[in-house]
Amino acid sequence: MTGDAPLWRRREPEAGYDVVIVGSGGHGLATAYYLAREHGIRDVAVLERGWLAGGNMARNTAIIRSNYLWDASAGIYEHALGLWEGLEEELGRPVLLSQRGVLNLAHTTHDVRESVRRVNANRLNGIDAEWLDPEEVKKLVPIIDITPALRYPVLGATYQPRAGIAKHDLVAWAFAAAADALGVHLIEDCEVTGFQRRGDRVVGVETGRGPIAAGRVALCAAGHTSVLTDRLGLRLPLQSHPLQALVTQLLEPVIDTVVMSNTVHVYVSQADKGELVLGAGIDAYNGYGRRGSFATIEHQVAAAVALFPVFEHAELLRTWGGIVDVTPDASPIIGRTPYEGLYLNCGWGTGGFKATPGAGHVFADTIANDRPHPLAEPFGLDRFAAGALVDEHGAAAVAH
Amino acid sequence: MLLIPCPWCGPRDEAEFRYGGQAGVAHPQDPWALDDRAWADYLFVRDNPEGWFAERWFHTSGCRRWCHVLRDTVDNRIAASGPATTQAPDPGTGRGGGRADPSSPATAPTTPGRRA
The neighbour count for residue A17, using CB atoms within 10 Å, is 26
Mutate to test the interface with B, among A288, A300, A331, A337 (most CBs of B within 10 A): A288
Inter-chain residue contact B50 with A224, CB threshold 8 Å: yes
Polymer length of chain B: 116
With 60 as the cut, is the pLDDT of residue B107 above it? no
Residue A387, domain CATH: 3.50.50.60
Residue A265, domain CATH: 3.30.9.10
Q: Which chain B residues are Cβ-neighbours of A224 within 8 angstroms?
A: 50
> How far is the C-alpha of A186 from the C-alpha of A10, rounded, in Å?
7
Inter-chain residue contact A384 with B40, CB threshold 8 Å: yes
Residue A3 confidence class, pLDDT cut points 50, 70, 90 = low
Q: Residue A346 pairs with which residues in a beta bridge?
A: A333
Asked whether residue A259 falls in the same domain as residue A358, the answer is: no
In a domain, A92, yes or no: no
Q: What is the ipTM of this complex?
A: 0.93
- State residue B116's pLDDT score: 39
Which tens digit of pLDDT belongs to each residue from A287-341?
999 888 999 999 999 999 999 999 999 999 999 999 999 999 999 999 999 999 9
> How far is the C-alpha of A91 from the C-alpha of A88, rounded, in Å?
5
Q: How far is B25 from chain A (nearest CA, A)?
A: 14
Domain boundary among A326, A361, A385: A326
Q: How far is A228 from chain B (nearest CA, A)?
A: 10
With 70 as the cut, is the pLDDT of residue B29 above it? yes
> How far is the C-alpha of A232 from the C-alpha of A202, rounded, in Å?
9
Asked whether residue A149 falls in the same domain as residue A251, the answer is: yes
Q: How far is A257 from chain B (nearest CA, A)?
A: 32
Q: What percent of chain A has pLDDT over 90?
A: 96
Q: Could you tell me which residue, A13 or B102, shows the higher pLDDT? A: A13
Q: Considering only the beta carbons, identify the residue of B14, B21, B71 that sits closest to A293.
A: B14
With 60 as the cut, is the pLDDT of residue B111 above it? no
What amino acid is encoded at A81 in this protein? L
Q: Which chain A residues are Cβ-neighbours of B19 within 8 angstroms?
A: 284-285
In a domain, A71, yes or no: no
Q: Which residues of A touch B (CB under 8 A)?
A: 193, 224, 226-227, 230, 235-240, 284-289, 293-295, 328, 384-387
Instruction: Give the domain range for residue A288.
Output: 99-163+239-326
Q: Which chain A residues are Cβ-neighbours of B45 within 8 angstroms?
A: 235-237, 384
- State residue A400's pLDDT score: 57
Asked whether residue A293 falls in the same domain as residue A253, the answer is: yes
Asked whether residue A243 falls in the same domain as residue A155, the answer is: yes
> How far is the C-alpha of A380 from the C-alpha of A333, rounded, in Å?
6
Asked whether residue A158 falls in the same domain as residue A266, the answer is: yes
Backbone angles phi and psi of A180, in degrees to 5: -60, -45
Asked whether residue A340 falls in the same domain as residue A386, the answer is: yes
Domains, chain B, ordered by start: 1-26+43-98 (3.30.2270.10)
In a domain, A201, yes or no: yes
Q: Could you tell me which residue, B66 or B111, shows the higher pLDDT? A: B66
Which tens digit of pLDDT belongs to each residue from A228-274?
999 999 999 999 999 999 999 999 999 999 999 999 999 999 999 99
A250 CB burial (10 A radius; 0-12, 13-18, 19+) = middle
Asked whether residue A183 falls in the same domain as residue A215, the answer is: yes
Asked whether residue A120 falls in the same domain as residue A173, the answer is: no
Q: Residue A104 pairs with which residues in a beta bridge?
A: A158, A260
**Which of the 8 DSSP states describes residue A346?**
E
With 50 as the cut, is the pLDDT of residue A370 above it? yes
The per-residue DSSP string of A58-89 comes to GTS--EE----SSHHHHHHHHHHHHHHHTHHH
Asked whether residue A322 falls in the same domain as residue A333, the answer is: no
In a domain, A307, yes or no: yes
Q: Considering only the beta carbons, identify the residue of B1, B75, B76 that sits closest to A295.
A: B1
Which tens digit of pLDDT belongs to each residue from A19-53?
999 999 999 999 999 999 999 999 999 999 999 99
> Reduced to 3 states, what is the DSSP secondary structure of residue A319?
strand
Whole-model pTM? 0.94
A115 and A104 Cβ atoms separated by less than 8 Å: yes
Going A176 to A181 to A182 to A187, the CA torsion angle's sign is: positive
Q: Considering only the beta carbons, identify the residue of B40, B48, B76 that sits closest to A239.
A: B48
**Averaged over A122-140, what is the pLDDT?**
98
Residue of A18, A95, A20, A26 lying closest to A56 (CA atoms): A26
Domain boundary among A326, A352, A380: A326
> How far is the C-alpha of A338 from the C-alpha of A233, rounded, in Å?
11
Which tens digit of pLDDT belongs to each residue from A206-233?
999 999 999 999 999 999 999 999 999 9
> How far is the C-alpha of A157 from the C-alpha of A238, rounded, in Å?
31
* Mean pLDDT (chain A, rounded): 96
CA–CA distances in Å: residue A348 to residues A27, A201, A222, A284, A359 = 10, 25, 7, 16, 10
> How far is the C-alpha of B66 from the C-alpha of A284, rounded, in Å?
16
Q: What percent of chain A has pLDDT over 70?
A: 98
Q: Which chain A residues are Cβ-neighbours of B53 within 8 angstroms?
A: 286
Asked whether residue A311 falls in the same domain as residue A182, the answer is: no
Sequence-distant (6+) residues with CB within 8 A of A253 are A270, A274
Q: Which chain A residues are Cβ-neighbours of B13 within 8 angstroms?
A: 295
In a domain, A5, yes or no: no
- State residue A397's pLDDT score: 60
Asked whether residue A337 falls in the same domain as residue A347, the answer is: yes
Which tens digit of pLDDT belongs to each residue from A376-394?
999 999 999 999 999 998 8
What amino acid is encoded at B7 in this protein? P
Q: How far is A332 from chain B (nearest CA, A)?
A: 14
CA–CA distances in Å: residue A384 to residues A241, A344, B44 = 20, 15, 7
Q: Considering only the beta carbons, identify the residue of B44, B49, B55 that sits closest to A237.
A: B44
B21 touches chain A (CB under 8 A): yes
State the total domains in chain A.
2
In a domain, A90, yes or no: no
Phi-psi domain of A96 (left: phi exceeds 0; alpha: psi -120 through 50; beta: other): left
Q: Which chain A residues are Cβ-neighbours of B43 within 8 angstroms?
A: 328, 384
Crossing angle of helices A26-39 and A168-181, rounded to 10°: 30
- State residue A198's pLDDT score: 97
The per-residue DSSP string of B50-86 comes to SBEEEEEEE-TTTT--EEEEEEETTT--EEEEEETTS
Domain boundary among A326, A353, A388: A326
- State residue B85's pLDDT score: 86
